[in-house]
Amino acid sequence: MDLDTIYDRLAAGGAPDEDLLLLVPGLARRALRRSLEPDPGARLAALAVARALGPAPGQAVVRALINDPEEAVRARALELALEAGPDGIGALRSAATGSDPRLLAEALLRLGRILDPSAAPAARRALAHPEAPVRSAAAYLLGRIAGPSTQTTLEALATNDPDPGVQRAAHDALERIAGRRARGGAEPWWGSGALDRGPGSPASPPAPQPPPPPDPRALARLVATTSGRRRAEALSKLSAGEVTELLGSRSAETDLHLGRGLILAAVALRLSTAAIRLRQLTSAPEPGVRAAAAAALGSLAGPSILPALTRLLDDPAEQVRASTIEAITEVSIRAGRADFAQGVLDQLASGQPARVAEAILAARRELER
């Protein structure tokens, strides 16, 4: 299945394929390009793909659309920033500089939760915003992080603002700055639920987490055999050191689920240092492991891997040859050597099996972009 077909399926809300992690870089680039489309529907579709790709790789699209001119697009981008947890901080900071009063107030309140000093300039400007909720949120944030230099402006709000809620928020901020009320420590701001806006109110308790799988091998197998939240949880518990060490084990070559899971984890963790071990896995007895290793090298390796990938085009397994074509195309484009990939495609014999022929067609389309 080519990238365009997978993109369209994800944009329509379809379930991610188990091999999606290997295709994340190409899909992320497509989503970022589509975020520039004039059609709001195309931009919403780009956000749907960004969500399917996961918090970290999808956030470039979210940041690009958090201040979109279309309200529905902005609102969806904010939801995805909140779902992303710590990965969404960049989009939230962008929202704090936007013009949408609802998003601006939400961003200032949540940045106040984590005591983000970079939001102070935006909060100072927002004290003069025409919307009362924005002024209240700005006062709350400054009360959590600012020093005495903001007191004069806050005193004017506490005394003269026409909105009683803004007056209360400004008064509370002055109490915190003066030390008469504790500022409190940083609290988690993420989550899709409503934020408690009361001054000094406690943060919502964290959701209970399932017990971790017993060992890194079990986690890697979960990565290979699950998707969505379960896969994300397994990935979050795997360290770069564990993945790199297990990639060099004999069991990674012979155990399909273990090998594929470790390779997927290497891509998710962006372990470019694992390229040598991934190259070794292109000779594994399991075709599924060889195919996954080739695809991972496409995501992680530099142009020096191209000769080794080219030799893989003689592999007896169709899935390995198809993955190798995608990998050669990915590395060549990234290295500015699209002519190399074009030359490789031109040398391939006609009459290839369907899976390989589809990969060739998709690669030619990618090179024409």
Look up residue 320 and give its two tokens.
């390995």
Query: Topology of 96-180 in CATH?
Result: Leucine-rich Repeat Variant (1.25.10)
* CB-CB contact of 203 with 113 (8 Å): yes
Predicted local distance difference test score (pLDDT) of residue 332: 94
* CB-CB contact of 138 with 123 (8 Å): yes
Residue keyed to tokens 């195919």: 291
Predicted local distance difference test score (pLDDT) of residue 132: 92
One-letter amino acid at 289 equals V
Is the entire prediction scored with pTM above 0.85?
A: no
Alpha-carbon distance of 124 to 142, in angstroms, equals 8
Predicted local distance difference test score (pLDDT) of residue 158: 93
Q: Which has the closest alpha carbon to 193: 208, 203, 185?
A: 203
Predicted local distance difference test score (pLDDT) of residue 167: 93
Predicted local distance difference test score (pLDDT) of residue 294: 94
Alpha-carbon distance of 156 to 174, in angstroms, equals 11
Q: Which has the closest alpha carbon to 210: 193, 222, 200, 202?
A: 222
* CB-CB contact of 44 with 11 (8 Å): no
Name all contacts of 138-142 with Cβ < 8 Å and 24+ positions apart: 138/108, 139/166, 139/169, 139/170, 139/172, 139/173, 140/108, 140/109, 140/112, 140/169, 140/172, 140/173, 140/197, 140/199, 141/108, 141/109, 141/111, 141/112, 142/173, 142/177
Look up residue 131 and give its two tokens.
């919307």
Q: What is the pLDDT of residues 2-45, one digit of tens each?
A: 677 777 777 777 766 656 666 777 888 888 899 999 998 899 99
Please, how many CA atoms are within 13 Å of residue 101, restricted to the half-sphere of its CB?
A: 10
Cα 126 off chain centre by? 29
Contacts of 208 (CB under 8 A, 6+ apart): none
Please write down the HEC assignment for all residues of 310-327.
HHHHHCCCHHHHHHHHHH
Sorted by where each begins, the domain ranges of the chain are 1-94, 96-180, 214-280, 302-369
Q: Which regions of the chain are under pLDDT 50?
A: 192-214
Q: Give the 3-state secondary structure of residue 258.
A: helix
Identify the DSSP state of 40: H
